[in-house]
Amino acid sequence: MLYHPDKHRDPELKLQAERLFNLVHQAYEVLSDPQTRAIYDIYGRRGLEMEGWEVVERKRTPAEIREEFERLQREREERRLQQRTNPKGTISVGIDATDLFDRYDEEYEDVQGSSFPQIEINKMHISQSIEAPLTSTDTAILSGNLSTQNGNGGGSINLAFRRVTSAKGWGEKIGIAVLTNFLECPMKRAPGDLEFGAGDLQGPLFGLKIFRNLTPRCFITTNCALQFSSRGIRPGLTTVLARNLDKNTMGYLQWRWGIQSAMNTSVVRDTKTSHFTVALQLGIPHSFMMVSYQHKFQDEDQTRIKGSLKAGFFGTIVEYGAERKISRHSILGATVSVGVPQGVSLKIKLNRASQTYFFPVHLTDQLLPSAVFYATVGPLVIYFAMHRLIIKPYLRAQKERELEKQRESTASDILQKKQEAEAAVRLMQESVRRIIEAEEARMGLIVVNAWYGKFVNDNSRKNEKVKVIDVTVPLQCLVKDSKLILTEASKAGLPGFYDPCVGEEKSLKVLYQFRGVLHQVMSADNEALRIPKQCK
């Protein structure tokens, strides 16, 4: 009724009313048709834009429409099947920095002509894997790795096939691996795939991995392997039984037979704010007990601090560290490891999307307080300096570029929305005048002033202060029976509104009069609002 062209005699207002009335008419056409309304109610505009609805039989129920939409989605996903992979990679670079602290030992023998500490890379490891979905249940996995330590190295390449047999289980059924050895570096292989391998020190290898849900709260995984070598056939079997003890706690029992036989039991508790693990292993050659705790801070950077204690036949190790999100896809962490007889090490890890970069730095073989101090304080000082001087300015500039790009891409659409909002406000003037007269007569709700957008303080730049628009008239037009009710949705879509600051946080500030008393309220963009507030 507000936008009907016959209600406006002014030619300019009549033209604006026709344009807005057509938008209302389009919405009416969607909502008045049971089929298109069901599509819109379930999937929104995205569902209406999906190709293929023209072949759908009319007069279908919402459930049938949902099934048809899911079928169209599956067909589109199948077309993209060959283009999708799940790449994962790890690069580890071991650094020997013991010369930094050992040179202060009385028994240290200085190398003639060397006045600077000798820091060298003593080991490296590179691994990479990709997945290629073949069907909805079959996946091919290609992976490989290269390792070297003190001049000795080796590598492998693996091809495996995984099949999901049912909702309760899956198996990695076929695999091929080719191993190569450089000098005399024996390779350690993770159990799992059914594989065939060939190498100088290791012969062919076959493996099978099976997963099965026993109950809704319990599952089992089994890894079988046969390693063929010059010493004969070396079988191996690993079985893990896991059970949900409660909502946040898992219990694991592991039995490994063959190479490095052992029995392991562990309990893992993971909540929103913490992660706790306790484990006990009895085996050959290593038996140990381990306790670790991680605290998760509820901040934007997802900061975590962690500590662990591990004691066994090999000695005792204490580790502590922290990790923090430094960008949208990157997490940086550092851990200090102090142990007997391992000494002191600093481990730096960077996770970038699905890639992991790991840098273990061995500082000393002894328990030196100076090494522990510098391993703890050094990374903190470097991180805060880099965060303040490099990371923070870079992220701020990146955010500005993204916002500017978003503004440019939506400039024409926002301009159109602004013109429609201004036209709507002009068409609302007469209705708002009548609403105000009725509210004044009953001492009801009168919107004195209302602003929508990004609110800034006086210390901000002047050009930021224009990111607020006056929405007094549109809000007063929404008042009915001395009440204003806004639902949980962006207010930029309300009649007479538009987005004045694309990509930035927005709020609505309202100064209103009710029963002759002035009130003020501010709500977030997607927050529901009710004026006046109901008394409990």
Is residue 488 located within the same domain as residue 417? yes
Inside any domain, residue 181: yes
In this prediction, residue 179 carries a pLDDT of 41
Q: Which residues contact 415 (CB under 8 A, 6 or more apart)?
A: none
Is residue 288 located within the same domain as residue 385? yes
Q: What is the mean pLDDT of residues 29-50?
A: 74
Per-residue pLDDT band at 176 (split at 50, 70, 90)? very low
Percentage of residues of the chain with pLDDT beyond 90: 26
Q: Are 163 and 137 in contact (CB under 8 A)?
A: yes
Inside any domain, residue 406: no
Is residue 383 located within the same domain as residue 474? no
Higher local confidence (pLDDT), 195 or 183: 195
In this prediction, residue 89 carries a pLDDT of 92
- In this predicted structure, the answer to whether residue 441 has a pLDDT above a threshold of 60 is yes
- In this predicted structure, the answer to whether residue 200 has a pLDDT above a threshold of 70 is no
In this prediction, residue 458 carries a pLDDT of 53
Domain total of the chain: 3
- In this predicted structure, the answer to whether residue 199 has a pLDDT above a threshold of 70 is no
Per-residue pLDDT band at 130 (split at 50, 70, 90)? confident
Higher local confidence (pLDDT), 65 or 463: 65
In this prediction, residue 49 carries a pLDDT of 66
**pLDDT per position as a tens digit, 245-304:** 999 999 999 999 887 789 999 999 999 999 999 999 998 878 999 999 999 998 888 899
Is residue 333 located within the same domain as residue 442? no
Is residue 365 located within the same domain as residue 421? no
Q: How big is the chain, counted in residues?
A: 536
**C-alpha distances out from residue 367 to 71, 134, 342, 485, Å:** 63, 53, 9, 67
Q: What is the mean pLDDT of residues 460-482?
A: 77
Per-residue pLDDT band at 236 (split at 50, 70, 90)? confident
In this prediction, residue 276 carries a pLDDT of 96
What is the rounded CA–CA span in Å between residue 200 and residue 198? 7
Inside any domain, residue 228: yes
Is residue 216 located within the same domain as residue 69? no
**pLDDT per position as a tens digit, 67-96:** 666 777 776 666 565 456 678 899 999 999
Within its chain, how far is the Cα of 350 from the centroid? 15
Q: Are 295 and 267 in contact (CB under 8 A)?
A: no
What is the rounded CA–CA span in Å between residue 476 and residue 450? 9
Give the range of the structural domain holding residue 26, as residue numbers without chain letter. Answer: 5-78
**Across all residues in the chain, what is the average pLDDT?**
80
Q: Which of 57-66, 168-177, 212-221, 226-235 has the highest mean pLDDT?
A: 212-221
Is residue 207 located within the same domain as residue 259? yes
In this prediction, residue 182 carries a pLDDT of 37
CATH of the domain at 213: 2.40.160
Per-residue pLDDT band at 387 (split at 50, 70, 90)? confident
Q: Which residues pair with 258 in a beta bridge?
A: none
- Whether the full predicted model's pTM is greater than 0.85, yes or no, is no
Is residue 431 located within the same domain as residue 339? no
Is residue 30 located within the same domain as residue 178? no
Is residue 259 located within the same domain as residue 277? yes
What is the rounded CA–CA span in Å between residue 254 and residue 273? 27
| Domain edge (last residue) among 396, 427, 445 | 396
In this prediction, residue 63 carries a pLDDT of 62
Is residue 435 located within the same domain as residue 363? no
Inside any domain, residue 258: yes
Per-residue pLDDT band at 58 (split at 50, 70, 90)? very low
Inside any domain, residue 298: yes
Inside any domain, residue 197: no
Lowest mean pLDDT among 145-149, 192-196, 200-204, 478-482: 192-196
Of 309, 344, 356, give the one whose Cα is nearest residue 92. Answer: 356
In this prediction, residue 78 carries a pLDDT of 62
Residue 522 in tokens: 């501010």
Inside any domain, residue 71: yes
Task: Work out the number of other CB atoms within 10 angstroms of the CB of residue 118.
Answer: 13
Per-residue pLDDT band at 114 (split at 50, 70, 90)? low
Of 317, 292, 295, give the one whose Cα is nearest residue 304. Answer: 295
Integer-rounded Cα radius of gyration of the chain:
33
Residue 301 in tokens: 């950077």
- In this predicted structure, the answer to whether residue 464 has a pLDDT above a threshold of 80 is no
In this prediction, residue 172 carries a pLDDT of 57
| Domain edge (last residue) among 23, 46, 78 | 78
Q: Which residues pair with 511 in a beta bridge?
A: 449, 520
**C-alpha distances out from residue 110 to 47, 95, 115, Å:** 74, 20, 9
Inside any domain, residue 211: yes
Is residue 169 located within the same domain as residue 70? no
